[in-house]
Structure 1
């Protein structure tokens, strides 16, 4: 059977065990030819050579296709016309997850940027509802602010940026675990080292961003538990000859992983290439979209914190030209680093799947290995998306087009 004939009822979970046979499978480590992905109860059971597929197992063929792990995006502000700040509801999260599934993202963190306390709390309540409802693709929340630096505020509204007070910390700690994975971006200017440690102990992943911090202060905050840097190069102290800044810390400190917006506007391609070569491990550079509500729509503008954001020629900006998120999806980011930066395809795929999963401490995504969740993509040879699968269910599918054999 061709994968286009995959029965709709299987997408509802009624087909409990099946295999997809593809010309090429990338499992997160290697490219495998002549193999099939075997799934059982929504999990990866294994990868089997075509000759070893059990005869009684339903098999669906994806000829000439590439199967890869699904993408993991840790910074998604919106999609499908829904901006999380403006629609902090279960419906908003569902729309965002459904939209990004059309571009290969199988797990994401809806991201709320600096806003009023009631909006932040509404976003957390929506996250709890999404977790309870089992929204496909929902992984948790990213709180990007409000405890940032005014000097490096970017598009964050200056009137809403503030210091983290004891009541804030108590609220965050009390919310831990209620909405899935928790990532918070903070600036040392408005958050103490002891607060970072308390957040990490409460199972938050702490990321440094929107800050003018020095290298040494950044190193101290990493020692306190921060393990990530938000959108490398953007809204942070840059690397200079006498002060390495947060950029230098992100690249030199092996404990740190960092997100990168690969749209060609936020960071120059040459700077991206230099960063990829310079990054010290085991931390990695991974891809984020920082996508806004425009993804999957024809909308030319939207409102954010009472200000209009304009969509022009691939960029999203405030009236003064300040970049306001990104107008890009993860599949396009993948193509950019692979085609424009000459990153090998396997490494580019890991930057979109395995590395962000590892940075967030997620162990059941990012690879096609036994026991991991059946989140995967069917791609054409030229990296066009045919279908997106979450937990062994086909969430989004297009008909096979040119580039596939029938």
Structure 2
């Protein structure tokens, strides 16, 4: 199948081009006129790689922390309809037995390729920066519990977010890395120096940068500065316009060069749903005007965003020519998160990669989604 579009975003160029799909792979891609008449002429569309969301808790009324495979697949299909062809299932702080149960329940979806892995966001987080996590479930990392979770579901856990200042935090970072998972730092009051030590120990991701972490201070730069200054670290940003001001994410992109920033939704079950009452783990969440907050505290509780909306926000706020803005948005929503997760077969329109493609209209709204070369059955795009 040969597709052509007015705008194709590849690692080499942005402009009129074509993509050839053979089976579940991209056989070739190029600029200008296709080598033969296109089987599918997408006209004025913008063709980009499938989005990769490394931090999402659910959507369409379903929550990954509930550990229900059928509901999890419902959330996966909802986000795919919005262009996210690869995603992690993020859990929240919970009791040891509940976390093990959730990981085991989702492991089959990981083995089947429906999920790229499980992300443990907690329970080893700072009480003062708990955000939308149940403070009663926060604790220091216990080596035995950590080992059981890392082994659960035949290694379904791909990433773990923790606060390195918790007792045993640095040892936990080392164990996570030794197990082949990604150690991420977040929900933390760690100092600049301690954050640097955690990165030296192997941490490679900053979880939703600026949110639920000690702020920058002129005498104590804190975790954000330490994460930003190390070229080995990928930093997450929730580019929904609520979690982080666009001026700040633009500053981060300029200071890092953009290749280390992954846009994440941090979406919870209310994504794509009407305002109302929901839950995130054990906490009640109220959604008003599409903003999710913990009912008892008013703390922001993840988001109701989808990655196509993040993509459009990044392009809209970029003080760049449209071609450059599109290339940067693709890096943030596909290339960089894929690289951070070690997924070499997704994240770019490039020969040999899986044929995950998103067809956007000129206003960057999703028209069609292809996953592994198969056009997904259209579904109503809630939200």
Sort the TM-score into its range (normalised by shorter chain).
over 0.9
Residue of structure 2 equivalent to 1:80: 60
Tell me the CA shift for residue 274 of structure 1. Answer: 1.9
1:261-280 paired onto structure 2 within 5 Å:
261-279=238-256
TM-score, normalised to structure 1, is: 0.87
Counterpart CA distance in 1 for 2:225 and 2:288 is 32
Counterpart CA distance in 1 for 2:137 and 2:224 is 25
Tell me the CA shift for residue 341 of structure 1. Answer: 4.0
Tell me the CA shift for residue 263 of structure 1. Answer: 1.5
Q: How far does the alpha carbon of each residue in 1:124-155 deviate from its partner, in whole angstroms, 9 at most, with x for none?
A: 112221133343xx211111000111111111
Matched residue pairs, number?
373
Q: 2:120 is paired with a residue of what secondary structure?
A: strand
Counterpart CA distance in 1 for 2:187 and 2:155 is 26
- Alignment of 1:71 with 2:51, yes or no, is yes
- Alignment of 1:60 with 2:8, yes or no, is no
Residue of structure 2 equivalent to 1:289: 265
Question: What is the RMSD computed on CA atoms of the aligned residues?
Answer: 2.0
2:21 pairs with 39, 44, 50, which one?
A: 39
Kept in 2: contact 1:251–1:280 (CA 8 A) = no
Tell me the CA shift for residue 64 of structure 1. Answer: 1.3
Q: 1:143 is paired with a residue of what secondary structure?
A: strand
2:3 pairs with 16, 20, 37, which one?
A: 20
Residue of structure 1 equivalent to 2:116: 139
- Alignment of 1:187 with 2:170, yes or no, is no
**5+ unaligned residues in a row in structure 1: which ranges?**
1-17, 400-406
Higher mean C-alpha deviation, range 108-117 or range 266-275: 266-275
Counterpart CA distance in 1 for 2:154 and 2:99 is 16
Residue of structure 2 equivalent to 1:8: none
Q: 1:168 is paired with a residue of what secondary structure?
A: helix
Higher mean C-alpha deviation, range 122-131 or range 64-73: 122-131
Tell me the CA shift for residue 178 of structure 1. Answer: 3.3
Q: 1:52 is paired with a residue of what secondary structure?
A: coil
1:183 to 1:372, Cα distance in 2 relative to 1, 3 A: same
Residue of structure 1 equivalent to 2:312: 335
1:176 to 1:227, Cα distance in 2 relative to 1, 3 A: farther
Counterpart CA distance in 1 for 2:25 and 2:154 is 23
Counterpart CA distance in 1 for 2:280 and 2:104 is 20
Tell me the CA shift for residue 217 of structure 1. Answer: 0.5
Residue of structure 1 equivalent to 2:152: 175
- Alignment of 1:118 with 2:102, yes or no, is no
1:134 to 1:195, Cα distance in 2 relative to 1, 3 A: closer
1:306 to 1:248, Cα distance in 2 relative to 1, 3 A: same
Residue of structure 1 equivalent to 2:202: 225
Kept in 1: contact 2:269–2:280 (CA 8 A) = no
Higher mean C-alpha deviation, range 287-296 or range 190-199: 190-199
Residue of structure 2 equivalent to 1:11: none
Residue of structure 2 equivalent to 1:107: 86
Tell me the CA shift for residue 39 of structure 1. Answer: 1.0
Tell me the CA shift for residue 298 of structure 1. Answer: 1.9
Tell me the CA shift for residue 36 of structure 1. Answer: 2.1
Kept in 2: contact 1:28–1:69 (CA 8 A) = no
Tell me the CA shift for residue 26 of structure 1. Answer: 0.7
